[in-house]
Amino acid sequence: MSAEFETTVEIGRVPIAVRCADLSFIEMLEQRYVNFLGAPAREGISLEVSIAPPSRITDEEDLEVAFDSGRWVMRRGDFLAEWDPVTRQGRVRQSANPYAIDSVLRIIHSLVLARSGGLLLHSASAIRGGRAFLFLGVSGAGKTTIARLAPPDATLLTDEISYVRRLGGGFHAYGTPFAGELGVAGENVVAPIAAIYFLAKGPDNRVRPIPESLAARSLLRDVLFFADDAELVEEVFRTACEFVSSVPAYELTFRPETEVWGLVA
């Protein structure tokens, strides 16, 4: 059966139209991405989704992303997808759970960003005073905590996955619907990035600048890139180095208290 229903999810000003014959699936997407729905774009990305019974779609236990015969092929136990970066058309076969399409969207965005000087980062981010701030760290470092402690005048972009793009002469952060432990989608807004903070928990609140070399190594640890492709990995590495050379980086040690935001500037 051909796809009959459609919605468009736009993140980072990149619209992805999703078509499916299952209306309940489209309604689930529109509820899940309610603040990130956009109008179809003539040159936007398009995915046709077919829903399979709730069972394994592929035999892959872990995510596999590979370029094969001009298409990106993505496999995991709950979905099988392919996407042509030239025609910008793709197909997804998945069970009805939202996590499969979440993963497909993240992978496609990571591929688009790699070609355009951007990054997906495992980090929290927020806007304050018209400027964006990113908070990175290993699992448990406090990304969700720092987002929860944000003052009322801060706008949450995400507590899970930050969307970074080069825009004009600098880097900007966009809101994403991908929520972490906070369980709240970010706002669909954008701002220039003023600083990067690498989080560490400690007995007091303090901040110190770190050199570009350390910032680059730490940043690369938190880049979300799923494809084993040497050319694109090189592009991602180059973008990460340009990012830390143009945006100040700090180590932020903090206790779980709102006063820590007094150090964010």
Tell me the pLDDT tens digit for each residue of 16-65.
999 999 999 999 999 999 999 998 777 789 999 999 987 777 777 789 99
Q: What is the pTM of this model?
A: 0.92
Question: Are 9 and 60 found together in one domain?
Answer: yes
Note the pLDDT of residue 1. 47
Structural domain range at position 129:
119-263
Burial of 74 (0-12, 13-18, 19+ CB in 10 A): buried
Q: Which parts of the chain have pLDDT scores under 50?
A: 1
Note the pLDDT of residue 3. 62
Q: If DSSP codes are grouped into helix, strand and coil, which group holds residue 59?
A: coil
Question: Are 163 and 174 found together in one domain?
Answer: yes
Question: Are 161 and 99 found together in one domain?
Answer: no
Question: Are 44 and 167 found together in one domain?
Answer: no
Question: Are 126 and 210 found together in one domain?
Answer: yes
Q: Which two tokens stand for residue 39?
A: 């109008």
Q: Which two tokens stand for residue 109?
A: 């965005």
* Structural domain count of the chain: 2
Q: Which of 70, 98, 99 is nearest to 82 (CA)?
A: 70
Domain boundary residue, one of 88, 116, 144: 116
Question: Are 89 and 123 found together in one domain?
Answer: no
Question: Are 240 and 173 found together in one domain?
Answer: yes
Domain boundary residue, one of 60, 88, 116: 116
Note the pLDDT of residue 238. 95
Burial of 52 (0-12, 13-18, 19+ CB in 10 A): middle
Note the pLDDT of residue 62. 86
CA distance 3 to 6: 8
Question: Are 251 and 141 found together in one domain?
Answer: yes
Domain boundary residue, one of 69, 96, 116: 116
Question: Are 178 and 219 found together in one domain?
Answer: yes
Question: Are 65 and 152 found together in one domain?
Answer: no
